[in-house]
Amino acid sequence: MIDKLNKIGEEAKQQISECSTLEKLEELRVLYLGRKGQVTELLKSVSSVEPAQRPAFGASVNRLKVELSDLLDRKKQNLESASQGAARQKESLDVSLPGRKLLPGHRHPLHQIMAEMTGIFHGLGFTVAEGPDVETEFNNFDALNTPPDHPARNSQDTFYLKQAGLLLRTHTSPVQIRTMLSQKPPVRIIAPGRCYRRDAIDASHMPVFHQIEGLYVDKQVSLADLKATITHFARALLGSKMKIRFRPHFFPFTEPSVEYDFSCVFCQGKGCRVCKQSGWLEISGAGMVDPNVFNNVGYDPEIYSGFAWGLGVERVAMLKYGINDIRHFYSGDIRFLEQF
């Protein structure tokens, strides 16, 4: 039995020292130290050895078991270190190679047009004002002189929240109210941001869209100032040949009120399918701030006057870039976005 023990020990030590892979090393561990391994079987056979030799034989088998276990552990550490070193060498960076060109992203076309529009109004002395998307009925409707029975206040048009008196703003006009409640005239602001309405999704409507609204309040502000501001903006954004048309209209928060149109950028005013042969494209509404709105925010309408206007960012972008479907802006199609 001693000779068999010595032979197993020599063979095991040689095989472990020559082992070159972790998989093979695991096979050797099972072969010698597993539940049915050769060294384990020797321990089970101690009872068959003569009584006088049992202690010495058992101690020898245990020493071999401990020795082989230590050899296996050291060999495993060496093989793992070698494997990790090879992996690091394979993944190492060759600093002599030319660098990879980074492909920078760019701003979404809606953000681009908003930045351009904001820059034009900055040049006229307007500053950006912001407000929350969740608004109160007072700021969104009441303070803007919108009566309780106005169609815009219907739940079929407006997203109301469960908490009474709160809603998702239907325009950025509440920012005008917040600004006037927080500061005295003169006021010269633009309010860009998201708006929400219960519109069915089609080529020209989305339930979430963007607006830029403006407000100018001071002494002796007139409708002529409004017309000059809109005209300058249109020609700075869409070209010096752009024509602007103002038509009488009605809005609860302005008096007098107007709607303004731009000459069709697709046919240059000659008439086409897009403008329905009229040569004009309807843009948005504007007007002189209603005295009731000034009363709601604590401004004296006998001293101050002002004008307000608004326009949809998506609509202006569609005109500027010749896009016929608003849904393209929200499709996430990289082929569409790469054009800008």
Higher pLDDT, 137 or 268: 137
Helix 223-238 and helix 313-321, axial crossing angle in degrees, nearest 10 = 40
Domain boundaries, the chain: 2-91, 109-337
CA–CA dist 87, 292 (Å, integer): 76
What span, in angstroms and rounded, lies between the C-alpha atoms of 244 and 279? 11
Whether residue 68 is predicted with pLDDT greater than 70 in this model: the reply is yes
Q: Is the peptide bond before 192 cis (omega within 30 degrees of 0)?
A: no
**What integer pLDDT is reported at residue 21 of this predicted model?**
85
pLDDT digits (tens, 9 = 90+) for 247-291: 999 999 999 999 999 888 778 778 877 778 888 888 889 999 999
CATH superfamily label, 109-337 = Bira Bifunctional Protein; Domain 2 (3.30.930.10)
Res. 220: pLDDT tops 70: yes
Which of the four pLDDT bands, split at 50, 70 and 90, describes residue 135?
very high
Residue 271's CB is within 10 A of a number of other CB atoms, namely: 15
Q: How many Å apart are CA 317 and CA 326, to the nearest integer?
A: 9
- pLDDT value for 1: 67
The pLDDT score that the predictor gives to residue 63 is 83
- pLDDT class of 114 with cuts at 50, 70, 90: very high
Q: At what angle do helices 2-18 and 54-91 cross, to 10 degrees?
A: 10
Mean pLDDT is lowest, of 5-9, 44-48, 169-173, for 44-48
Burial of 113 (0-12, 13-18, 19+ CB in 10 A): buried
Per-residue confidence (pLDDT) for residue 122, from 0 to 100 = 94
pLDDT at 6 exceeding the cut of 70: yes
> Is the per-residue pLDDT at 138 higher than 90?
yes
Task: Note the pTM of the prediction, 2 decimals.
Answer: 0.67
In the 8-state DSSP scheme, what is residue 134?
Answer: E
Per-residue CA distances from 118 to 79, 114, 297 (Å):
64, 6, 26
Q: How confident is the model at residue 339 (pLDDT cuts 50, 70, 90)?
A: confident
In the block, which residue shows the tokens 């307000």? 308
Name, in order, each residue with C-beta under 8 angstroms of 114's C-beta and a sequence gap of 6 or more: 192, 210, 212, 313
Kindly report, residue by residue over 32-48, the tens digit of the pLDDT. Answer: 788 778 877 777 777 77
| pLDDT at residue 170 in the model | 94
Please state the separation of Cα 333 from the chain's center in Å. 15
Q: What is the pLDDT of residues 284-336, one digit of tens each?
A: 899 999 999 999 999 999 999 999 999 999 988 888 888 888 899 998 888 89
For residue 208, pLDDT beyond 80? yes
Q: Give which of 98, 115, 97 is closest to 106, Cα–Cα.
A: 115
Is 160 or 266 the better-scoring residue by pLDDT? 160
